[in-house]
Amino acid sequence: MRLRIDNEYDKLEAVMVHRPGLEIERLTHDNMRQFLFEDIPYLRRMQDEHDAFVAIMRDHGVEVLYLERLLLDVVADEPVRQRLLLEACGTAGVPAIADDLCGLRHWGIEELVDLLFAGLTAGEYHERTGRRIAPPSGGDSFLIPPIPNAYFCRDPAVVVHDAAISSKMHHRERIRETQLTRSVLENHPEFCENTITYGGTDEPTEDRPYTIEGGDVIILSPDAVLIGASERTRSETIELLAGKCFRFGHVKRVYEIAIPTERAFMHLDTVFTVLDRGTILRFSPVMENVPHIHRYEPADADGAGAARVPEERGFLDVLRDEFDTDLTIIDTAGGSQPFESREQRADGTNALAIAPRVVITYERNERTKAALEAKGINCLGVAGSELVRGLGGPRCMTMPLRRGPGDTK
């Protein structure tokens, strides 16, 4: 599959997702905030909602690939398996158990893939191997912690033009999500002929504090990308990434948009999404008060480095110029209070366009859905009472791989 994403709204042809699994059942009252949840979802209902979400995409001609199934192929290769498990165990602080896992003496391939999502407790390790290893945090807690946010496939990687960006997660609890996704992009036969512009395995210098997450990256056109400087994405990373994109000819302009560094607005796509050329959905209390915008352009004629300059235009003027058309602006919940704030919290702004003016939203955000439909947007509602408990919507749950006309292969 050749990766290709030139905007946010052309027909979605292929996407990567992860169906929530046993990692969700690792959440407890005591650890849910550590793992960035504010409530404990009901897994079976959560899976039903995710299956319905996937069914809508497939009904509209989208090829849906599951991260966990792709990992089965990747983990079957011993050198790749060794590196991936060393990464996972090293990040967790227990590198000594990597050999036990990699050797397939106690776990099969499918069990290892489950383990990479659900984690491993000291008790489970002892039961399988007969060995006791004290977990880094003490007690019978995790040797390898779970990654319950893994169903938010938007954040670990994002495709810009014809290459991928491998993210650097802000919270350590999410680092393995990037490791798993990057391993698939680098090693699976479906993807290995593509390029990773930023954050590949062979680029160790692109690490903390250079954090960036896919929910902050919005592709306006083949020439321009919008990136939120947020709770999760640093300005220094945006500059570094812009230089890489210019060097490889992926885009010509990168805009840095500052949003509040608060959990309620963790990514740019929680307050702003694009539904068609010139048609946007926004949470106005944030997007009407953008404190500053910076523009990056190639620093020299050879495209090396990025020149950062203050943007004199306002946010809406930038969008008008980039889209080269007048804007259709739709506010979350139609701008009505208190529903605007309520529905932003339930990811009303986080709509996924699967074709121009055809979007998937949570059906619970009724006023946002009505505002969209009043502007001629075809809204495909999906239940999200359990999915939303991780604070993410339809856009958050997908990593688009291809958009636009042409075959997916």
For the chain, the residue count is: 409
Question: What pLDDT was estimated at residue 206?
Answer: 57
Residue 268's pLDDT is 97
Q: What CATH number belongs to 12-69+148-403?
A: 3.75.10.10
Please enumerate in sequence order all residues whose Cβ is within 8 A of that of 403, keeping only pairs 6 or more positions apart, or say none: 4, 5, 6, 7, 9, 10, 11, 12, 13
Residue pointed to by tokens 């500053």: 292
pLDDT digits 0-9 by tens, 344-369: 999 999 999 999 999 999 999 999 99
This prediction has a pTM of 0.94
Distance (Å, whole) CA 91 – CA 101:
15
pLDDT surpasses 80 at 203? no
Average pLDDT over the chain, rounded to whole?
92
3-class secondary structure, 274: strand
pLDDT of residue 207: 63
pLDDT the model gives residue 139? 54
pLDDT value for 50: 98
Catalytically active residues are 396
- CA-nearest of 379, 378, 288, 290 to 335 is 288
Nearest residue to 154 via CA among 48, 269, 240:
269
Give the 3-state DSSP-derived string for 241-257, with helices as H, strands as E and coil as C: HHHHHHHCCCCCEEEEE
Taking 80 as the threshold, does the pLDDT of residue 407 lie above it? no
DSSP secondary structure letters along 211-232:
-B-GGGEEE-SSSEEEEEE-SS
pLDDT digit string, tens, across residues 22-39: 999 999 999 999 999 989
Sign of the C-alpha dihedral, residues 402, 333, 278, 252? negative
- Listed residue (23, 47, 45, 49) closest to 36, CA to CA: 23
Q: What is the pLDDT of residue 322?
A: 97
Listed by start position, the domains of the chain span 12-69+148-403, 70-144
The model's pLDDT over 165-200, given as tens digits with 9 standing for 90+, comes to 999 999 999 999 999 999 999 999 999 889 898 888
